[in-house]
Amino acid sequence: MGRDKYPRQSLGALHSQIKQARVLLIGAGGIGCELLKNLVLTGFGEIHIIDLDTIDLSNLNRQFLFRQEHIKKPKALVAKEVASKFNPSCTLTAHHANIKDTQLFPLSFFRSFTLVFNALDNLDARRHVNKMCLAADVPLIESGTTGFNGQVQVIKKGKTACYDCTEKEVPKTYPVCTIRSTPSQPIHCIVWAKSYLLPELFGVGEDEETSDQLDTSEDADNAEEIRNLKAEAQALKKIRESMGNDDFAKQVFNKVFRDDIDRLRGMEDMWKSRTRPTSLNYEALQSEASSSTDATISPSDQNTWTLLENFAIFKSSLHALSMRLKQNAGIAIAATEATNPAAVRPVITFDKDDPDTLDFVTSASNLRSHIFSIPLQSKFTVKQMAGNIIPAIATTNAMTAGLCVMQAFKVLRGDYFRAKMLFLENSGARALNSEPPRPPNPECAVCGIATGQVDVDPERATLNDLVDGVLKSELGYGEEMTIMNEVGPIYDPDMEDMLPKTFRELGLRDETFLTVIDDDEENPRVNLQLAVSSKRKLPAGSRPVVLAPTTAAMEDGRPEEAGQQRGTLEIARKPKKATSDRPEEMVEGNGVTVVIANGAANGTGTGKGKGKVKRSADEAGLDGADTLKRKLAADDDGTGSGAAGDASVVTNDSTKSNGDVDGDALGFDRAQAIMLDDAAAGDGSIVIDDD
């Protein structure tokens, strides 16, 4: 009782909601540690923590829940153990797992929470959680920091913009000719080792998939180098087949550090203004390194390794990764060979917290740097550059975590309008800035869509049951549609041979997401995202694919009759784009002239033409325009100014005072309309911008 005294006094009626809340915290790193501490001390009743990483020495300077003795232990488990001591009445559950594992964390898992907090450090995982929370209709509080800068955003389906509503910065790519032939900076060699050599040997090669850091778009300047890259990939593919042999390391070394370099040295024109590279000799390095170099210097990540040390670690990491790949292959074959032999393809990808892949990338990049007379880098520096790590600031994490909890209070009250976007900034007059929550972007491919769920019997359900039994019969889709899973299209009108296949044959497991694209040219629907679920037992005699009840229907408590669909899944139509070449239309009626402009009032619109046309007020649907009343929509500072939007209306009526226009009568959103005096007109007219 004493522990709850002050939170109860501070939070009032909200305190009971907090104690009953079930929240999910994804990420137990810099922000996650601070946020978990705040949630526990605030008194949240049940908290689940998910993190895949283990604790590293570099984490200890800012992730205060961890100590020296915790190194190499799972972050989620240690965070739970330590934080539970702050408030024993709080129930903590830890998951040392990948949040993207839909078998462990299906849609039903997300639906079980009152609120989700994101404290992740990578774009892909953030987008996954954003998608799952939208599909589950659970509020998400997204947060992140970059050095001294931080950001907190509340995301709620249908009320605010989601994480993908605004375009994110695309990771920098490097021209393949620079990476493969003419590196001049350490980052070029690091990208070569991480995004080319490692995938070719232990992952998906260039002929199968293009790395997101290699720009392989072919043009006149790099076409020949692209062809050389593909030829070298084939050579490495043959060497890969000898993995496990005693001379595997020697074959790889001679290929990438001798033969390929000798080929480049033979291109005379390339080295007229550059330092010619120098190839390495395996036997010479082996004889020097055998008696004086030990690969156990790997933990020394702050020091820059010598050439011989890099050579020794290259061989040892190559051996370690080879053994891991063979072990993974054996497990995969035992698990899947009987059902789908083609699916057996284990891979190893780069992870900044994986010692073997980090050792490989560090040593390989340094050997290449030595060849091209580029300064060598320490393992710590390579980890930062390869992992795109920006040093974190403990105080920024603490402030951001505090703001997350403050926003959570507003979410629990349902006060999304006051849950503003918050920004911590190291420049400017104020350290903390805010802006009103942005509305959902209708063009967003993630939240500007309809969502639903189909319950299936995977043994009986076929693609035809979904297409004809649900999409066409229940939802009214026509013939022109495309169905896609995470890999690509599985159905369109030209793929009718796929219809008889069962969900199991198509690899549509439980918690798979399908996207239905309406290809109707006249009046298409927005995209529909369907979650496939096989957990709910279908009523006796029902079809093998059934559209699940909507959230509203599931909440009303009514029993579902066999084979009946409760709740209607509403799928909006895509907004029609204006095709008129007339940017402005002048409407006359009841003594009022209204100019509707297909552009902003300040002249920045996107309309094609410049002229004005007139039509009657009845035709325009503006009956009663003589009763319009003007309302001013002032901005935050009370000046009444605002930005122009996509449509504007100018009223020109000399018989009315400067104050008689009503935006509601014209069909504008009262909350979004911004009305400005049109001083240029000189006739008392105003402009209404619906932005």
Strand, coil or helix: 233:
helix
DSSP state letters, 193-230: IIIIIHHHHHS--TTT---TTEE----TTTHHHHHHHH
Distance of CA 98 to the CA centre of its chain: 15
Burial letters for 502-541: b for 16+ Cβ neighbours within 10 Å, e otherwise?
A: bbbebebebbbbbbbbbeeeeebbbbbbbbbbbeeebeee
Question: Do the strands 513-518 and 481-484 form a parallel or antiparallel pair, or are they unpaired?
Answer: antiparallel
- In the annotation, is 165 catalytic? no
Q: Which residue's entry shows tokens 């290809």?
A: 519
Write out the E strands in 30-173. Answer: 46-50, 91-95, 115-118, 140-146, 149-155
Please answer whether residues 372 and 187 qualify as being in contact, where contact means their C-beta atoms are separated by less than 8 angstroms.
no
Write out the E strands in 448-581. Answer: 450-456, 481-484, 489-491, 513-518, 528-533, 545-547
The one catalytic residue in 90, 165, 177, 404 is 177
Compute the distance between CA of residue 464 and CA of residue 467 in angstroms, rounded to an integer.
Answer: 5
Strand, coil or helix: 37:
helix
Q: End-to-end CA distance of the chain, in Å?
A: 51
19 φ/ψ sector (left φ>0, alpha ψ -120 to 50, else beta):
alpha
CB count within 10 Å of CB 121 equals 20
CB count within 10 Å of CB 209 equals 10
Compute the distance between CA of residue 23 and CA of residue 92 in angstroms, rounded to an integer.
Answer: 10
Determine the length of the chain: 691
Compute the distance between CA of residue 370 and CA of residue 376 in angstroms, rounded to an integer.
Answer: 7
Number of helices and strands (H, E) in the chain? Answer: 20, 22
Please answer whether residues 74 and 59 qualify as being in contact, where contact means their C-beta atoms are separated by less than 8 angstroms.
no
Question: Do the strands 513-518 and 528-533 form a parallel or antiparallel pair, or are they unpaired?
Answer: antiparallel
- Please choose, from the candidates 9, 374, 433, 44, the residue with its C-alpha nearest in 3D space to the C-alpha of residue 184: 374
Locate all alpha helices (DSSP H) within 210-295, ordered by sequence. 223-240, 248-254, 260-265, 282-292
Which residues are annotated as catalytic? 177
